Structure 1
Amino acid sequence: MEAVVGVIRDNFKKLWDRQSNLEDIVEKFLGEGTFGKVAKCREVATNQEVAIKILKSKYKDAGRDEIQALTEVSKIDADQYCLVKCIDWFRYKSHICIAFEILDKSLDDFMSDRDDRPLDLHEIRTIAWQLLIALQGLKNINLVHGDIKLDNIMLVNQVSEPFRVKLIDFGLAQKTSHIQTGSRMQNLLFRAPEVMLGLPLDERLDMWTVGYVLAMLYAGIYIHPQDSEYNIIRQGLFTHKFFTQTEENSKVVWKLDTPEQHSKKRGERVEEHLDYFSFDDLRDVYYDMTKRDEVEQFIDLLKRMLEVDPNKRISPSEAFEHPFFTMKSPNKTNGVLATETNQMVAAPTNATQKRIKC
């Protein structure tokens, strides 16, 4: 990996020329993750800045999967649906490199820069609206992101367009019909219950993670809601890992293992006492007591996003009509939302479909 990074830094112009007949200059490296590094580059001819994702050679299969997912995304308008725009991709030896539009910073970095101080409700509303638009766009093309978290939500330009965001990183995205029951996906902290329990999976798992992201922006910390129900877990492939089947009043029921039972069953030490927030606890987190009605609406939206049963979980189209938005519609403000609701959530038409090299 270091070798290709050095080549791109010192001789990226030749590397890019062979693939796309473009001249680019590497300005700096923006970050590094499990799959590779991201470089900020500038095209000489147009002076356009791009972000080049350079995948490690051992993750070339993941690179191909991401390109396949981005090809699906190219069928809809990325700007309209708050998704990152892929510009091009190319190979260098065993490395896959993908060029994206340049963005500002992730919500994870943004929150760290403010010492994880919670956002105001109107800021959360603006972000929530856009994430729902992103989910609607993905649903329109039957794509599941599978890795929504603060790191993968980018501010576009916080100075000129406050809290305009885009969803990035489609390395784990899959077509809904291709997801196998029992697939392990999503970051552990954002993992939906149906993933943990080995239940059938679809795009509704992304709604869970969006809800969890919004709860984090509201509370400033990770939260684990205590509200749950057990009746959906009986057919899960991994139910036995967390629950024990017993009989009560001549009926077979599943009961959540105690920490002691789980430790014995799995050989893992489990903490007896956990710090978590219930939805009732979250009501008292917000500092502005004059916003109690908005807080109640937001908590209700969270409840419906973080519904344990995916069959009861709110959909993007239903969420657009939720009172958290309708009580004070987040219409065009500071350039963040430039289109009316019915236009933003419309299904893609032939006019908006386009092919790109990704």
Structure 2
Amino acid sequence: MGKTELYSVYKSFLDCLCLSRSSSGGPGKNEKDPDDGHLAYQNGDVLQERYEVISLLGEGTFGKVVTCVDRRRSGARVALKIIKNMEKYRQAAKLEINVLEKINEKDPHNKHQCVQMLDWFDYHGHVCISMELLALSTFDFLKENNFLPYCMDHIRQMAYQICLAVNCECKGDERKVKDTTVRLVDFGSATFDHEHHSTIISTRHYRAPEVILELGWSHPCDVWSIGCILFEYYEGFTLYQTHDNQEHLAMMERVRGPLPSTMICKTRKQKYFHCRRLDWNDNSKAGRFVKDHIKPLWRYRLSEAKEHHQFFDLLEKMLEYEPSKCLYLSSSLRHSFFLPLCRGSKAWESTRNICR
């Protein structure tokens, strides 16, 4: 689903993090690395005399994730994240490891639905993270289902779990989710509140306005991202499908109205504005595209039923421009949209107690 930015750590800690478990050589180019920095391997290879590679699960900028048999866990299958042998990715992996260790420490019984790290090690300069093996991501399921949206009951259950996890306080046959249990799995850009925050964060389509305007960011940008993800569950397509900041801001204004003058005045990105208004021509080619393809938020509603109204009320509160007015996730968990989950459910009460 996105990436949720929660934590960061001291760099001095990073420099010593991998030393205690580096049993197979340190960083640096070696015969196992192709030119792109990925570890060269074949199915059947065994890492650390423990992890037998079975198949590729996925590949990204950071590296690859493979399914492995863990010979020390009675042959249990695990997901092994193998980071590229490149310094910037190693440093990012050490950040993620520290976050996952903190999560294991603070939430040993996994009440907050975050992925569990089982082990980590350095293998010829590749940081490797062993995690529990899960099923398809919510996006991959959406993709394999020809981008048909999730039904409202599934959205409600998944939305509640995502809010809980982040809270710190087509044509063809339609498929149905058998198990709506979700886990938050990618902490690669995670950041602690008290540490350095990079200027740009979050995947483009889920990026909050304060990030684009470089006004600084904190937990509210996660709430905005979740709102965008929940919209995608509901409609089956991305709300802000763009790669340009100016167009992104124009789409936001089309969906949620004009940006607040307070944010416009504070931003250093004055090139996007003229006379305290977004510098955007509705009659240009890009302007006509936005006008033809983007609608005000409530016009995306697919039904007049009560639960749809409740869902869009939740989205409206999550997609709030000003971070200071953003809905707290602890409050979102008590939103009326989630009330059906409480009927006869002990799980609802136990998760509500976590957030009180």
Q: Is it true that 1:70 corresponds to 2:100 in the alignment?
A: yes
Q: Within 1, Cα distance between the matches of 2:126 and 2:344?
A: 41
Aligned pair 1:113/2:144, yes or no? yes
Partner Cα separation in structure 2 for residue 236 and residue 71 of structure 1: 37
Tell me which amino acid in the other structure corresponds to 1:197: L
In the TM superposition, what are the counterparts of 1:90-129 in structure 2 within 5 Å? 90-129=121-160
* Mapped pair 1:44 → 2:68: no
Query: Is 1:132 the counterpart of 2:166 in the alignment?
Result: no
Aligned residues: 296
Q: Which runs of 5+ in 2 are unaligned?
A: 1-32, 170-176, 241-251
Letter in 1 for 2:138: L
Distance 2:223 2:239 in 1: 16
| Counterpart amino acid of residue 11 in structure 1 | D
Q: 1:85 to 1:239 in 2, by over 3 A?
A: same
- Paired residue for 1:352? none
Out of 179, 182, 187, the position equivalent to 1:170 is 187
Structure 1 unaligned blocks of 5 or more: 18-22, 141-157, 247-253, 264-268, 349-358
Q: Would the aligned equivalents of 1:199 and 1:235 in 2 still touch at CA under 8 Å? A: no
Matched residue SS, 1:82: coil
- Which amino acid is the alignment partner of residue 55 of structure 2? K
1:74-89 alignment to 2 at 5 Å? Answer: 74-77=104-107, 79-89=110-120
- Aligned structure 1 segments of 4 or more residues deviating by more than 3 angstroms: 1-11, 234-239, 269-272, 330-333, 340-345
More strand by share: 1
**Do residues 280 (structure 1) and 280 (structure 2) align?**
no
Task: Indicate which of 308, 311, 319 corresponds to 2:332.
Answer: 319
Distance 1:317 1:346 in 2: 9
SS at match of 2:326: coil
Alpha-carbon distance between aligned partners in 2 of 1:330 and 1:7, rounded to the nearest angstrom: 48
SS at 1:87 equivalent: strand
Output one character per residue of 1:66-96: Cα deviation in whole Å (capped at 9) or x when no partner.
1122222223226210111111100011110
Cα offset for 1:200? 2.3
* TM-score of the aligned structures, taking structure 1 as reference length: 0.75
Q: Does 1:193 align with 2:221?
A: no
Q: Which of 42, 51, 66 is the equivalent residue of 1:24?
A: 51
Q: Is 1:57 matched up with 2:85?
A: yes
> Does the C-alpha gap of structure 1 residues 120 and 28 become closer, same or farther in structure 2, counting only changes over 3 Å?
same
Quote the residue 1:329 is aligned against: 341
In 2, Cα distance between the equivalents of 1:96 and 1:37? 11
Residues of 1 paired with 2:343 and 2:189: CA distance? 32
Computed over aligned residues only, the root mean square deviation of the Cα atoms, in angstroms, reads: 2.7
Evaluate the alpha carbon distance shift between residue 279 and residue 260 of structure 1 in structure 2; reply closer, same or farther with a 3 A threshold: closer
How far is the alpha carbon of 1:36 from its aligned partner? 0.3
TM-score under structure 2 normalisation? 0.76
CA–CA distance in 1 between the matches of 2:184 and 2:223?
A: 13
Contact 1:89–1:96 (8 Å) recurs in 2: yes
Closer, same or farther: CA 223–330 of 1 in aligned 2, 3 Å = farther
Aligned-residue identity in percent: 28
* Equivalent AA in structure 2 for residue 48 of structure 1: A
Mark the CA change 1:193 to 1:38 in structure 2 (over 3 Å): closer, same or farther: same
Tell me how far apart the structure 1 counterparts of residues 289 and 61 of structure 2 sit (CA, whole Å): 32
Q: Hey, what's the Cα distance between the residues in 2 that align with 1:221 and 1:276? A: 12
Q: 1:282: Cα distance to partner?
A: 1.6
Q: What's the CA shift for 1:179?
A: 4.0
Counterpart of 1:213 in structure 2 is 229
What aligned pairs does 1:336-351 form with structure 2 within 5 A after superposition? 339-343=347-351, 346=354
User: Is the CA contact 1:126–1:330 (under 8 Å) kept in the aligned structure 2?
Assistant: no
Contact 1:192 1:208 in 2 (8 A): yes
Alpha-carbon distance change, 107 to 279 in structure 1, aligned in 2, over 3 angstroms: same
Matched-pair contact (CA < 8 Å) for 2:68–2:79: yes
Does the 8 Å CA contact 2:51/2:71 hold for their aligned counterparts?
yes
